[in-house]
Structure 1
């Protein structure tokens, strides 16, 4: 928790700032990893990372519907990685199905986490054609049917 207080808050603020700036200019190289690297570069006391697996300490891991590791609560400023994730659930009365991280891992910065609903809001690179900006996307961890979700806590340098 002490590590999060020193680094996590600054990472979340940097991600929010880059989210606002992304309307006008390209952030990083436009990729998911590029956005996370650009965000962590804005925080001087964040430990340097070596993607894809070394974003910091693993605090949460989920494979399919099974939570394999939960060291602590997910916090804003953590790095979330989705690999071959298929999510299926309901938004209001409508059913939805979503495939994320097919071929390339989706990596983003946690903006907020709702523990009761197990819902995480993530700042991530927008990979739609012609729109290499940053978007804010919400995922329900309970809706994961297959694939992997990992959450890392960035350490202090």
Structure 2
């Protein structure tokens, strides 16, 4: 919790700032990992990984409908990554199907800032995903770590 309290709050602030800036300009290189790199670059105390598919300590991992790892509650400022994810479920009374990927009681609905891949719109958007709707692919959620001092 101490790691989240210090770094997670700064990650949320950086993501929020970049979301506002995205209304006027492109954030990072416009890709999903580019947005994450741009956010983490705004947090000097955050440990930067040379591997673009690693952003800290894995607190949650799921492949398809099977949860492989859950060691902490998902908190604001954690980084979520999807690989070839297909989600299918219901939002309100409507069925939905969604593909995502990057090349509390336990509610697993997450609200995220992500790069917007739609041309002509702001470059970052806010979306929600229900992890229990994951039918295939993989999701990992990372807790961003602090640099060693």
TM range (shorter): over 0.9
Structure 1 stretches of 5 or more lacking a match?
Answer: 106-113
Alignment of 1:5-154 (within 5 A): 5-101=5-101, 104-105=102-103, 116-131=106-121, 133-154=123-144
Equivalent pair of 1:30/1:132 in contact (CA under 8 Å): no
In 1, Cα distance between the equivalents of 2:43 and 2:23? 21
Indicate the SS of the match to 1:13. helix
TM (norm. structure 1) is 0.88
Equivalent pair of 2:24/2:122 in contact (CA under 8 Å): no
The one-character-per-residue Cα deviations of 1:59-106 (angstroms, maximum 9, x if unpaired) are: 0000111100001001111110001111000011110011111xx34x
Structure 2 stretches of 5 or more lacking a match?
Answer: none
The one-character-per-residue Cα deviations of 1:33-56 (angstroms, maximum 9, x if unpaired) are: 111111111111111122333211
Equivalent pair of 2:86/2:97 in contact (CA under 8 Å): yes
The one-character-per-residue Cα deviations of 1:88-130 (angstroms, maximum 9, x if unpaired) are: 00011110011111xx34xxxxxxxx55531000101001124
- Residue 154 of structure 1: CA displacement? 0.8
In 2, Cα distance between the equivalents of 1:115 and 1:33? 30
Equivalent pair of 2:62/2:139 in contact (CA under 8 Å): yes
